[in-house]
């Protein structure tokens, strides 16, 4: 049963939030040589709980709307398959999603008390976007945008908790992380195009069409790389942040693979996986860039 719950929570995708918080903590360490361990652990717990919540609620609503029964499930797309296979009750998944949302809200509430209105605004955005993500947001064609903003907000909020300020550095670092997170969602929506469209969803792929959307792939990593270059060139990031560019070959492989196989689910799976790997490696290298002194 534990393995089923870990599957529906999509544990391996939680790494995106781990990287986002780690970027904020490493940026603060590079700037201020400080780390509040208690606040850091609590931040990880709160962000992970909120991330688990959105994944659980997304699985619930996709099942209720009949999307998951029409998709071709892969290890990267089409939902977890837990509800269509009858491994858990929809009500149980919904309650778990709400429970994680409450847990994350309580932890966030602690930081509202200790750190004030800034965290309250970020937390309020998070709660509303999580609850309405799988219904209102993805139906309006704003899913990728909200995922990018979510990643950015995590970095800004975690940095603020540690440093007490919102800086240009934290915003730029947030843009790096948000763009990488959005890219993973973007490519994973290609196989779900037909099922999503038939049930009223409007992903970016649906809005512009598969062929044109495949060419938009390059925009996401470009935004991340440009933000890093801006940060380094203005001395907001250490020069070592440029090690993030070692992931370029993986980005090229993924982007070219998407353009050749955007209409073939089975052939696209390896490139969805390599895109996920690209995002994780780039984010990890970005973190390392702040931690190794030159």
Q: What is the pLDDT of residue 249?
A: 97
3-state DSSP assignment of residue 236: coil
For residue 6, being part of any structural domain is answered with: no
For residue 57, the number of C-alpha atoms closer than 13 Å in the C-beta half-sphere is 23
The contacts of residue 278 (CB under 8 Å, 6+ apart) are 180, 183, 221, 247, 250, 251, 254
230 vs 293, residue with greater confidence? 230
Q: How confident is the model at residue 80 (pLDDT cuts 50, 70, 90)?
A: confident
CB atoms closer than 10 angstroms to residue 126: 25
Residue 98 exposed, middle or buried by CB count within 10 Å (0-12, 13-18, 19+): middle
Q: Is the pLDDT of residue 72 over 80?
A: no
For residue 4, being part of any structural domain is answered with: no
For residue 44, being part of any structural domain is answered with: yes
Long-range CB pairs of 104-112, under 8 A, 24+ apart, other chains included:
104/46, 104/47, 104/49, 104/50, 104/53, 107/42, 107/45, 107/46, 107/49, 108/46, 108/50, 110/42, 111/39, 111/42, 111/43, 111/46, 111/157, 111/161
Q: How confident is the model at residue 236 (pLDDT cuts 50, 70, 90)?
A: very high
| CATH code at position 197 | 1.10.600
For residue 261, being part of any structural domain is answered with: yes
Region 90-107 average pLDDT: 95
Contact 240, 292 (CB under 8 A): yes
pLDDT, mean over the chain: 92
Q: How confident is the model at residue 202 (pLDDT cuts 50, 70, 90)?
A: confident
Residue 66: which region, alpha, beta or left (left: phi > 0; alpha: psi -120 to 50)? Answer: left
Number of domains in the chain: 1
For residue 264, being part of any structural domain is answered with: yes
Region 216-242 average pLDDT: 97
For residue 1, being part of any structural domain is answered with: no
Q: Tell me the C-alpha distance between 83 and 3, whole Å.
A: 14
Q: Which two tokens stand for residue 82?
A: 């837990």
For residue 2, being part of any structural domain is answered with: no
Name the residue range of residue 98's domain: 16-291
Q: Is the pLDDT of residue 76 over 80?
A: no
Region 201-211 average pLDDT: 89
For residue 8, being part of any structural domain is answered with: no
pLDDT in tens, 9-64: 888 788 899 999 999 999 999 999 999 999 999 999 999 999 999 999 988 988 88
Most confident of 137-141, 184-188, 224-228: 224-228
Q: Is the pLDDT of residue 224 over 90?
A: yes
Q: What is the pLDDT of residue 250?
A: 96
């Amino acid at each position: 049963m534990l393995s089923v719950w870990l599957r529906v929570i999509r544990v391996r995708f939680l790494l995106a939030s781990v990287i986002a918080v780690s970027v904020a903590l490493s940026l603060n360490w590079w700037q201020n040589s400080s780390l509040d361990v208690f606040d850091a652990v609590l931040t990880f717990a709160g962000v992970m709980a909120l991330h688990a919540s959105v994944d659980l609620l997304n699985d619930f609503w996709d099942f209720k709307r009949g999307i998951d029964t029409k998709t071709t499930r892969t290890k990267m797309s089409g939902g977890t398959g837990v509800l269509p296979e009858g491994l858990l009750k929809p009500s149980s998944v919904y309650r778990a999603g709400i429970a994680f949302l409450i847990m994350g809200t309580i932890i966030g509430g602690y930081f509202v008390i200790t750190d004030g209105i800034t965290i309250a605004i970020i937390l309020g955005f998070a709660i509303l976007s999580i609850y309405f993500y799988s219904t209102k947001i993805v139906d309006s064609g704003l899913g990728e945008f909200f995922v990018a903003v979510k990643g950015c907000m995590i970095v800004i909020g975690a940095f603020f908790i540690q440093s007490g300020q919102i800086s240009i550095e934290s915003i730029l670092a947030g843009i790096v992380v948000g763009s990488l997170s959005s890219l993973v969602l973007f490519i994973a929506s290609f196989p779900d195009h037909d099922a999503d469209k038939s049930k009223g969803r409007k992903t970016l792929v649906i809005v512009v069409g598969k062929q044109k959307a495949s060419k938009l792939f390059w925009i996401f990593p470009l935004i991340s790389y440009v933000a890093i270059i801006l940060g380094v060139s203005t001395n907001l990031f250490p020069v070592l942040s440029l090690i993030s560019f070692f992931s370029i070959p993986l980005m090229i492989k993924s982007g070219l693979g998407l353009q050749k196989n955007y209409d073939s689910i089975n052939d696209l799976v390896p490139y969805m996986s390599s895109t996920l790997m690209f995002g994780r490696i780039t984010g990890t290298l970005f973190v390392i860039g702040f931690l190794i002194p030159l």
